[in-house]
Amino acid sequence: MTTGGLPPAIAFYDREAESLSARYDSLDFDRLHGILLPFLPRQGRALDVGAGSGRDARALAERGLDVVAVEPSEGMRRLAARHASAASVLWIDDTLPELSGLPPVPPFFDLILLSAVWMHIPAADRPRALSRLSNLLAPGGHLFLTFRNVKEEPLRGMHPVDPRETLLEARKNGLSLLVSNTSGDGLGRSDLVWTALLFRKSAPAKREETHP
């Protein structure tokens, strides 16, 4: 189902951009993503998929990373651009599972972040999405997913997530689970539980040298 020609999730974020951006920006990156902090690269490239208000993209850029932020909601992108530090972030209108609009060079990222995005990806599209994300990740790089417990919510484009299926699909794509965590909601909504999964992409196996 679409609204005004847009997928439900994008239409929702466009419609509620002002209030949602203010709520998301009220949360502190370090406190919200504490389990990710020890694994943040000191330098390199980061991809923030479903960047929303730009809170996480700005935090990563302020740490010296070269950040590409993907956000399909025009309303959210417009509000994110109001922040001065957002000028150092490359913003792209794109969606999973294709992510076809990313700059081709350089092709790999050291960190890929999907905060509160995975439940917006239909279950049938998640295998392709994980394959695409793994292909974009540099060997030894990290993929960080957070998602909330939801029932099917068609008007908001939300779908239930089975963490076991996500873990299985991740292993198929060379992603090893490093840390998992469940927590309450940072905005104080008592009925929500969040799951965080941190993966590392395996380095390619070394080929043994053969001598005649």
Which region among 90-99, 136-145, 186-195 has the lowest average model confidence (pLDDT)? 186-195
* Mean per-residue pLDDT, 27-55: 96
pLDDT grade for 210, boundaries at 50, 70 and 90: low
98-132 pLDDT, tens per residue?
A: 999 998 888 899 999 999 999 999 999 999 999 99
If residue 146 lies in a helix (H) or strand (E), which one and from where to where?
strand 137-148
* Mean per-residue pLDDT, 68-81: 95
Per domain, the residue ranges of the chain are 28-65+125-150+174-193
Q: Which residues contact 27 (CB under 8 A, 6 or more apart)?
A: 55, 186, 187
Which region among 2-16, 48-62, 198-212 has the lowest average model confidence (pLDDT)? 198-212
Report which residue type is found at 33: H
129-158 pLDDT, tens per residue?
A: 999 999 999 999 999 999 998 888 888 899
Tokens representing 134? 């793994």
Label residue 167 left, alpha or beta by phi (over 0 means left) and psi (-120 to 50 means alpha): alpha
CB 69 within 8 A of CB 38: no
Report which residue type is found at 16: E
CB 84 within 8 A of CB 62: no
Q: At CB < 8 A and 24+ separation, what contacts does 102-107 make?
A: 102/47, 102/68, 102/70, 102/136, 103/68, 106/45, 107/136
Question: Pick the residue with more confidence: 198 or 154?
Answer: 198
Instruction: Report the mean per-residue pLDDT for the chain.
Output: 91
The pTM (predicted TM-score) of the whole model is 0.91
In this predicted structure, what is the pLDDT of residue 3?
A: 44
Q: Which residues contact 106 (CB under 8 A, 6 or more apart)?
A: 45
Residue 105 to residue 208: CA distance in whole angstroms: 30
Of 97, 191, 184, 188, the C-alpha closest to 150 is: 191
